[in-house]
Amino acid sequence: MAGAEAEAAVPLAIEELVLRLRILLPPLLCTQQASWEQGVAAHVILACQQFWDRICPPVPQPFDFISLIYALAHESVVPLILPAWGHDILDDRSTFVETNLSQMLTYTIFRLALLRRRASELQLSGPYNLPELVDDEMNGWLHTAEQMRKAAVGKTDGWGFVRDVCGSPRFDKA
């Protein structure tokens, strides 16, 4: 492609990517009563990533594909999960309340903070590129992670068993 053609192709490629996300993601989440464990949203995002890698448009800097994907996924997913936020199956309030998400997010945030403190050259560049965060933003994340950790720990009894979530202790109730 010539220079002008390549520049004109970039907005079309981005437009097609956005269209794919907006068309594919919401119906999958709605019609399949998608549970996060099934990874439906992840499959759609992966398909869009593969599409983007396949067409390889010459994107001017700074363009962050991952930020675009997360923004669009957030736009498409959040309205669908808010009505039944925290339940195992989206839009089904009779399902048990899920605590695993907060535990996983907490672990991820703490792990990211630890990696930032002890980052090697490999983690700062190349395929394992850590996201750049200013200290104030990371401190905000750590504060939120600590609140989620306390909430998760608060659901355990003296022996470390989870109570009052996921239908415990017999897993026979919402």
Question: What confidence tens digit (pLDDT) does each residue in 30-84 have?
Answer: 544 444 444 555 566 666 666 666 666 555 555 566 666 666 655 555 555 455 4
Based on its alpha-carbon atoms, the radius of gyration of the chain, rounded to whole angstroms, reads 20
Which pair of structure tokens corresponds to residue 104? 């996983």
Distance (Å, whole) CA 101 – CA 97 = 10
Do residues 174 and 96 lie in contact, with contact meaning Cβ atoms separated by under 8 Å?
yes
Question: What confidence tens digit (pLDDT) does each residue in 129-158 have?
Answer: 666 677 888 888 888 888 878 877 777 777
Mean pLDDT of the chain: 64
Taking the domains of the chain in order of start, what are their residue ranges? 1-88, 96-174
Residue 72's pLDDT is 61
Beta bridge partners of 162: 156
Question: What confidence tens digit (pLDDT) does each residue in 87-129 have?
Answer: 555 556 666 555 666 677 777 778 777 777 766 655 555 555 6
Residue 33's pLDDT is 47
